[in-house]
Structure 1
Amino acid sequence: MTALRRRTTSLLLLLPLTGSAAPDPAALRAIVDETVRPLMAEHDLPGMAVAVTVDGQSAIFNYGLASRADNKPVDERTVFEIGSVSKTFAATLASWAQVQGKLSLAAHPSKYWPALKGSAIDKATVLHLGTYTPGGLPLQFPDELTDPEPARYYRDWKPAAAPGKSREYSNPSLGLFGHVTARALGRDYAEAVETILFPAFGMTSSYVNLPDTARPNYAWGYQDGKAVHFTEEPFSAITYGVRATAADLLRFVQANMAPQQLEPVLRRAVEGTHVGHFRVGAMVQGLGWEQYAYPVKLRTLLDGNSESMIWERHPVRRLKRASVPAGPTLYNKTGSTGGFGAYVLFVPEKKIGIVMLANRNYPIPSRVKAGYAILERLATKVAISK
């Protein structure tokens, strides 16, 4: 039996149905299958889990293998590395800390990490760190850097621009953002995410520090024909360290789609990650999530998730009034590790959210095209049924 034929489906009612205009389960499965099957074949993906929510009705579709060595299929318990989608949890924790009065986005990092006092990085604010706009921190830390709290790296850093003038996607930027958040809370970062956020969102199979009990469900990623898991670097727990099931990640997406159903503090924290701060072309950078006015053209979404946006510096425009978008909005985030590729997108106004997890790091444009295709099919189906 080929990997593509190994498919299971699970219906999850994670939010109440609302006089549902969602497609029936068979139609939903057909929409996902028509996109995912060719995608897996084109990129030789060992396995995938695709979670979809439409108007409160949710389903998980599992494909292929979590481990080729023992022919283990992907199922509802399979834990994937979600890569930089982890950054949305750092953003949510920071927003939660701000709501609690523990963290100020307008403060400078030395307020929470005094070792940075007087350095160039301390001219930036916590908000700049969380939006990749401190002035030119690179995409990755140097390979030779092993210090788990690299204060010297940040003290020695030389900016290429003034804070708030350009966006350069950066693990050191977001990593420092998460680190000062944890220091502001007086807690270990991983412990804070695992004890504050995951329980609040009902995420019972998500981890920063993977326990031994979860290892049998931890998928292997595949890179150059080898089975791999990510290796740690400074602040990797913050920037790409979350491991989760598709169902758990969908619960997080649903909370973001309907924050009004959350308790007040958590609601304000989630809504804080939806506030747009800087515009880069058609994309608005918030905390964690990247935003587009919806409907959005595929070309626009591809440009916002392009190699250029990942590797290059782009001028930004600070929004005069930082606020939650007034009109329909698509939120998205990609994530990658050496052996895994993830993509998450949702449109609250359409009541549609999609989680795509694979145990191979396949091209981001292919993820975006697949996610967009599923979204547009679902949006059309819902519109017709209404």
Structure 2
Amino acid sequence: MAARPHHRHEPRRKRALSARRKLTLVALVLSGLSSGPPPAAAEASSAQIAEAVERAYRPLLKEYDVPGLAVAVTRDGQSAVFTFGLADREVQRPVTRDTLFEIGSVSKTFTATLAAYARALGRLSLEDAPGRFLPSLRGSALDRVSLLELGTYTAGGLPLQFPDGVAEEAAMIAWFRDWQPSAPPGTQRRYSNPSLGLFGAAAAAALGGNFTDLMETRLFPKLGFRNTFIRIPEAEMDRYAWGYGKGDRPIRVNPGVLDAEAYGVKSSAADMIRFVEANLDPGRLDPPLRQAVEGTHVGYFRVGAMVQGLGWEQYPYPVSLERLQAGHAPAMTLEAQPAARLDPPQVPSGPTLFNKTGSTNGFGAYVAFVPDKRIGLVMLANRAVPIPARIAAAHAVLEVLAEAP
């Protein structure tokens, strides 16, 4: 657990806006108007969306003792951020649209985008073995695994986490060299931080740089981010929320091998909804990045009711709450599942929901979007809200986003 620095106490803030006033402001944001009264239909629709967010997420604070939440939604190119509770209980610092949360494994969607970007630039092929870029792995069992299989957790049995004794690079390389598959590559999906982490490390090597540097100086700026980091600068630390885990103690993520690639991003609701909008409308990005984002929407393996792509997991839309929750059941994370390779890879031919969950010991995140409906949602919390509850809240709001006039 990270040591907690001393903070000076902040002055008491003015009384929060009334719920009705907040809904009116959100209606203005969602209607896309900067001045003047919004049309009655647009205001009513926006208020309906705001009320749906309030109804879905407010109860989570009490039920799961969540200190704070940020929820962002987008519909037809207009977005809004809703904030609840506290980023730091000790100093009573409220959550804002720019509060930094650990997004856990949602980081994998950025890693996938960087790898797809390297592919768009011609620096790698998904059929390459990692040893092409990481010479220390040449001749190992992993040299018979493709980058595609690493990026879709189908390498043949890489585990969820590194063993406890693997805490630095030399031990990591030795462990990777000793690893032997428990199944032929491409036949089963076993969700794995080492698998996705190695995928990101190979992508960074293909681009000739350090992974964290490439993300912070290349990918994040290209996406228009203002408040997204792997290494949070000292000047931004006051915006970094404290997570809350067992015993309600404040906690932040510990360092680990390939942590940046697998679960190391810290971001704000404002930036994350920009990322969702980039996925909803990649055409506004520069050509290599557009190609990269579109590349993460391709499905490569069918795993039960879910299609696994690079970073994102896909479902035909509309999707029932039960089916979506089943796709995130513990067995999908903790156990190997049969995987059928899609040949050719699947470009969605109809409405598709893309989503990803993420957690660290003190934080929980969920992102979902439907390009055909031009809707999307981000939830960031400084407690690891149970995944079924995250999905149920998001599902309820997405239904309103899809149906509101």
Q: Into which bin does the TM-score normalised by the smaller protein fall?
A: over 0.9
In 2, Cα distance between equivalents of 1:269 and 1:22:
36
Task: Choose from 277, 288, 297 the match for 2:311.
Answer: 288
Contact 2:49–2:397 at 8 Å: present in 1 too?
no
Bigger shift: residues 116-125 or 24-33: 24-33
Query: By how many angstroms is 1:146 displaced?
Result: 1.1
Distance 1:274 1:226, change over 3 A: same
Task: Choose from 126, 130, 149 the match for 1:128.
Answer: 149
Query: By how many angstroms is 1:280 displaced?
Result: 0.3
In 2, Cα distance between equivalents of 1:302 and 1:22:
32
Is residue 155 from structure 1 mapped to residue 177 from structure 2 by the alignment? yes
Q: TM-score, normalised by structure 1?
A: 0.94
In 2, Cα distance between equivalents of 1:262 and 1:141:
36
Task: Choose from 317, 328, 345 the match for 2:368.
Answer: 345
Which letter maps to 2:190?
Answer: E
In 2, Cα distance between equivalents of 1:144 and 1:15:
53
In 1, Cα distance between equivalents of 2:169 and 2:356:
26
Bigger shift: residues 161-170 or 321-330: 321-330
Is residue 303 from structure 1 mapped to residue 326 from structure 2 by the alignment? yes
In 2, Cα distance between equivalents of 1:233 and 1:371:
30
Distance 1:59 1:117, change over 3 A: same
In 2, Cα distance between equivalents of 1:101 and 1:223:
43
In 1, Cα distance between equivalents of 2:233 and 2:45:
37
Task: Choose from 327, 347, 365 the match for 2:388.
Answer: 365
Query: By how many angstroms is 1:14 displaced?
Result: 10
Which letter maps to 1:66?
Answer: A
Q: Counterpart in 2 of 1:185?
A: 207
Q: Counterpart in 1 of 2:218?
A: 196
Which letter maps to 2:207?
Answer: L
Match of 2:344, SS state, is coil
Distance 1:327 1:169, change over 3 A: same
Q: TM-score, normalised by structure 2?
A: 0.89
Query: By how many angstroms is 1:169 displaced?
Result: 0.2
Computing the radius of gyration from Cα coordinates, the structure with the larger value is 2
Alignment gaps of 5+ in structure 1: none
Q: Counterpart in 1 of 2:117?
A: 96
Give per-residue Cα distances to partners, 1:295-347, cap 9 Å, x unaligned.
11111101111100000000100001114211100000000000000000000
Which letter maps to 1:54?
Answer: R
Give per-residue Cα distances to partners, 1:209-251, cap 9 Å, x unaligned.
1100110000000011100000011100010100000010100
Task: Choose from 293, 296, 309 the match for 1:273.
Answer: 296
In 2, Cα distance between equivalents of 1:285 and 1:24:
34
Query: By how many angstroms is 1:16 displaced?
Result: 7.6
Alignment gaps of 5+ in structure 2: 1-11, 34-38
Q: Counterpart in 1 of 2:283?
A: 260
In 2, Cα distance between equivalents of 1:355 and 1:62:
12
Bigger shift: residues 21-30 or 37-46: 21-30
Contact 1:91–1:288 at 8 Å: present in 2 too?
yes
CA RMSD in angstroms comes to 2.1
Amino-acid identity (%): 52
Query: By how many angstroms is 1:21 displaced?
Result: 6.7
Give per-residue Cα distances to partners, 1:58-95, cap 9 Å, x unaligned.
10000000000111110122100000000000000000
Q: Counterpart in 2 of 1:86?
A: 107
Q: Counterpart in 2 of 1:119?
A: 140
Task: Choose from 24, 43, 65 the match for 1:44.
Answer: 65
Task: Choose from 146, 157, 162 the match for 2:167.
Answer: 146
Is residue 214 from structure 1 mapped to residue 271 from structure 2 by the alignment? no
Match of 1:61, SS state, is strand
